[in-house]
Structure 1
Amino acid sequence: MTADWSTYRELLLPAVSGRRRAVETELRRAVRDGRLTTGTRLPSSRDLAEQLGVARGTVTAAYAQLVGEGYLTAKRGSGTTVTAAGTWPSDSRPEPDPTPHWRYDLRPGLPALNAFPRAEWVAAYRAGLAGLSDEELGYPHAAGFPPLRAELADYLGRVRAAVTEPEAVVVTNGSAEGLSLLCRVLRAQGHRSIAVEEPSHFGAAEMLASHGLRVVGVPVDDHGIRVDALSTTDCRVVLVTAAHQFPLGVVLHPERRHALIAWARACDGIVIEDDYDAEHRYDRPAVGAVQALDPSRVVHQGSTSKVLAPALRLGWLVLPESLREPVVERKRHDDLGTETLRQAAFAQLLRGGGYDRHLRRTRALYRKRRDALIDALAREQPSWEPIGVAAGLHVVVRLPPGTDDLALQRKYAARGVNAVALAHYVRTPLWPGLVLGYASLSPDRLREAVRELR
């Protein structure tokens, strides 16, 4: 195939600034978007340099680079041609679906991102980095940065009454990775099913299923997961949100806590305690971790996502001794360990008291916001019944019998209000409800949002 070489000035010159990289980049783009088709013979380096007004060496170097990348082929006596060795994707891609912009976003699970302690985090990051030795800038320990593991063990013992030691703590890239690691280790140990609360977060159930585990729902009542129903399943692993059940907001009753441990001992089982937002309790101190009742049977899981921000992607597992080595080994094979700089910053924030100060501030903030939401609902929707304890970042409201909560969600979405139906979290029929997050909106904005829920 031949080409009219006089056209290359018009083809390439508008984007060429005279530097080698500019010529190289524009030639590459011309191949990829189809302006230069497979088999097209290019001008000699001398001719193209004259057309573009650049040095011959600039074109020679650009040709050589693109030959090395496989875009062009150069043969003595045949010149340089566009390669036929492959096809190149177009640079034009369809626009992704835009993220919905809600007038009032009441989805559960998001903290007040505008309350993130930016100044304290920057200071902690700088201090953490300054304190790292040259050796600590190498590949991280698969189980986590040792100073952070020590700080987490101290924090969890002090705030959550967990029974732990630094050696039991594994730092992960958020709680999702922690759950993923556990799934693969447990499956390798012979587990084929896992029990979850019904209702529960659909994302967790989907992740469990994606790792080849059969998910079995166990009903929740006013006292938490029904351990009697759990005992009738063939599962030897269960995932629970004991301190603040998601989404219903109930607390696992003391008798159920002991029954859960007895179940695990009887069947040689494991309890995974997802402690996702236990620090946010507004009317009284949160109950201690179930893990303290039997550290050999309970995996305690937490993260910074509900206290600081999901963007940090920092989580942790407190593991029974029997699971420590296989989980750390799985983590090593996955990614060699969580990035050290974030861990060093978080360790500094814990050590210096910044994490505790932030929690005190946000507890007061969220309590006011929850109170504003509950008061507004009482005025505007007196037939709606709030469910669960004063805790966390969301509240569930029970709707009158016969209400279609999915239809209601669609109705509110048309008004720009993101109010999630309880039906999204259930696998078997339950009463109609809405799961309303309040942490990310001010009291005034929450009152405005409730006025739209008519």
Structure 2
Amino acid sequence: MPMARTNSGRSGELLVELRRDAGVPLHRQVETAIRDGIRSGRLRIGTALPPTRTLAADLGVSRGVVVEAYEQLGAEGYLTSRTGGYTQVAIGQDTAPPRARPAVAPAPRIDFGYGRADVSSFPRAAWLRSVRRVLTETPDGRFGYLDGRGVPELHEALAGYLNRVRGTSATPQDIVITNGFAQGIALLIGLLAKAGAKRVAVEDPSADDDARVVAAEAGLEVVGVPVDGDGIRTEVLDRIEADALILTPSHQWPTGGVLSAESRADVLEWAGRTGALIVEDDYDAEYRYDRAPIGSMQGLAPDRVVYAGTASKTLAPGLRLGWFVVPRHLVDDLAAAKVLADRGSPVIDQLTFADFLSRGEFDRHLRRMRPVYRRRRDALLAALRERLPDLRPAGVAAGMHLVAWLPPELDEREVVEGAARRGVGVYGVGPYRLSADGPGGLVFGYATLDERRIGEGIELLAAAIADG
């Protein structure tokens, strides 16, 4: 019962099975097998079939059998061939029309999406130089399996950078490399749940993905701590029992508030008294415009605070590079969880970023991008002042987004929907609240839009609001 398979890279998919006792000419069996493969979708359009000589040899038949089958399928339109080239599948799956899918809303023509770096400015040349150095200079042993914390070179580079720029109190031994914040917080919450944690506190409003979703899926109760213009209201903490508190103290997401020194002290006092773990999400603190740098909370209490940072907002989210500076008693458990999850983050990427950091390229990239983002922020503020003066911007001194609070007579959802009809993507604060309390507001990301498009987008938004 001779059989042959495709050479299309999809190994394991049977192409032809011949039965010499079936009473059906061999070339007809070849035709039927290939035709059925195309109709079922197993052989997709563009798939290259084996040369006639190769397939004939695999099947133990004369080449003329395969040639005749290919020619018939070509005449029917199933196959196409070029002189000197492969024979290829020429049509798609021959089935009933696919079921109708729900219509997908068109993407906004001008999108004030938040949390996005301008990846068009990724420092490709400098990154490539680091990649080349890594590939030519790294000892062979570094390309094997490492422990779950990541490569030592990146631990050293990050500890030096974070202590210098963010005021952390990190040693290389405290750092675990993750695939971004999302993986790190999932691993950490998993450890808390395994240790018996029952409740996680988050800012209200706060991002509704990552921590909140993962905690809920792990069976933990998620409670909100109200936020005002300066971050969380720490007086509320005394009424909350939680095993962990997740904060964005240097630039609260989404309101932009900065947690004061007094409030930071209150949070740390509460954590020390209750035994709660503080998770400091330092997602965009490198971008500041009208204020002095704000040091990390981890530097004040490294035994109580987990510091989380990533390259997503500074370089590109596609790198999937994150780092967690954790209290010493959690390092081994977090590293073990990382190994169990994926055996560790890609070594070459880690070594490349370590080189990039150590040679000052990361600092240079940030110095280039700060004025770019500042100009875009300034353009957004100017456009809001001119076209929508009743909106009150907040959280403008740093980051890559701002919030504009709406006057009471404007409904947040109606504004968002009206903007969408004009092709403008703006996003309400409401979906990120745990409670129903609080004014309506819009989140404007500006990192990926140039000044002209920012002005055009606000012009369209103003027209949508005027139309009601």
Per-residue deviation, 1:230: 2.1
Corresponding residue of 1:103: 109
Per-residue deviation, 1:404: 1.7
Q: Which moved more, 1:200-209 or 1:438-447?
A: 200-209
Distance 1:452 1:339, change over 3 A: same
What is the identity, as a one-letter code, of the residue corresponding to 1:107?
Answer: G
Corresponding residue of 1:16: none
Per-residue deviation, 1:48: 8.4
Corresponding residue of 2:67: 53
Q: Distance in 2 between matches of 1:414 and 1:4?
A: 62
Q: Distance in 1 between matches of 2:458 and 2:347?
A: 43
Quick check: 1:318 aligned with 2:339? Answer: no
What is the identity, as a one-letter code, of the residue corresponding to 1:152?
Answer: L
Quick check: 1:188 aligned with 2:202? Answer: no
Match of 1:255 among 255, 259, 262: 262
Corresponding residue of 2:435: 428
Per-residue deviation, 1:437: 0.2
Q: Deviations over 1:43-81 (max 9, x none)?
A: 9945686431399xxxxxxxxxxxxxxxxxxxxxxxxxx
1:56-95 equivalence runs, <5 A: none
Please say if residues 140 and 338 of structure 1, whose CA atoms lie closer than 8 Å, have aligned partners that are also in contact. Answer: no
Quick check: 1:331 aligned with 2:338? Answer: yes
Please say if residues 250 and 389 of structure 1, whose CA atoms lie closer than 8 Å, have aligned partners that are also in contact. Answer: no
Distance 1:28 1:210, change over 3 A: farther
Corresponding residue of 1:450: 458
Q: Distance in 2 between matches of 1:232 and 1:220?
A: 15
Per-residue deviation, 1:9: 5.7
Please say if residues 195 and 218 of structure 1, whose CA atoms lie closer than 8 Å, have aligned partners that are also in contact. Answer: yes
1:23-422 equivalence runs, <5 A: 26=34, 29-30=37-38, 32-33=40-41, 45=59, 50-53=64-67, 100-204=106-210, 205-422=212-429
Q: Distance in 1 between matches of 2:254 and 2:188?
A: 22
Provide TM-score, normalisation by structure 1. Answer: 0.83
Q: Distance in 1 between matches of 2:213 and 2:187?
A: 15
Q: Distance in 2 between matches of 1:11 and 1:419?
A: 55
Q: Deviations over 1:15-67 (max 9, x none)?
A: xxxxxxxxxxx4883584499xxxxxxx9945686431399xxxxxxxxxxxx
Q: Distance in 1 between matches of 2:297 and 2:387?
A: 38
Q: Distance in 2 between matches of 1:96 and 1:316?
A: 39
SS at match of 2:223: strand
Q: Deviations over 1:359-408 (max 9, x none)?
A: 01111111111000000000000100001241101010001103221221
Q: Distance in 2 between matches of 1:215 and 1:165?
A: 31
Distance 1:28 1:175, change over 3 A: farther
What is the identity, as a one-letter code, of the residue corresponding to 2:424?
Answer: V
Q: Distance in 2 between matches of 1:113 and 1:392?
A: 16
Please say if residues 124 and 345 of structure 1, whose CA atoms lie closer than 8 Å, have aligned partners that are also in contact. Answer: yes
Per-residue deviation, 1:336: 1.4
* Structure 1: 5+ residue stretches without partners: 13-25, 36-42, 56-89
SS at match of 1:440: coil
Distance 1:46 1:393, change over 3 A: same
Q: Distance in 1 between matches of 2:96 and 2:281?
A: 43
Please say if residues 196 and 240 of structure 1, whose CA atoms lie closer than 8 Å, have aligned partners that are also in contact. Answer: yes
SS at match of 1:293: coil
> Would you say how many aligned residue pairs link Structure 1 and Structure 2?
400
Distance 1:91 1:235, change over 3 A: farther
Please say if residues 199 and 219 of structure 1, whose CA atoms lie closer than 8 Å, have aligned partners that are also in contact. Answer: yes
Distance 1:31 1:399, change over 3 A: closer
SS at match of 2:298: helix
Distance 1:48 1:426, change over 3 A: farther
Per-residue deviation, 1:208: 2.1
Per-residue deviation, 1:8: 4.2
How high is the sequence identity, in percent, across the aligned residues?
Answer: 38
Q: Deviations over 1:420-441 (max 9, x none)?
A: 1111211222211100000111
Q: Distance in 2 between matches of 1:92 and 1:50?
A: 36
Distance 1:190 1:347, change over 3 A: same
Q: Distance in 2 between matches of 1:91 and 1:113?
A: 41
Corresponding residue of 1:22: none
SS at match of 2:404: strand
What is the identity, as a one-letter code, of the residue corresponding to 1:280?
Answer: Y
Provide TM-score, normalisation by structure 2. Answer: 0.80
What is the identity, as a one-letter code, of the residue corresponding to 2:406?
Answer: L
Q: Deviations over 1:307-347 (max 9, x none)?
A: 00100000000000111111111111111111100001100
**Root-mean-square deviation over aligned CA pairs:** 2.7
Per-residue deviation, 1:211: 2.3
What is the identity, as a one-letter code, of the residue corresponding to 2:302?
Answer: P
Per-residue deviation, 1:140: 2.8
What is the identity, as a one-letter code, of the residue corresponding to 1:165?
Answer: T
SS at match of 1:396: strand
What is the identity, as a one-letter code, of the residue corresponding to 2:373?
Answer: Y
SS at match of 1:217: strand
Per-residue deviation, 1:443: 1.0
Q: Distance in 2 between matches of 1:339 and 1:222?
A: 40
Please say if residues 8 and 51 of structure 1, whose CA atoms lie closer than 8 Å, have aligned partners that are also in contact. Answer: no
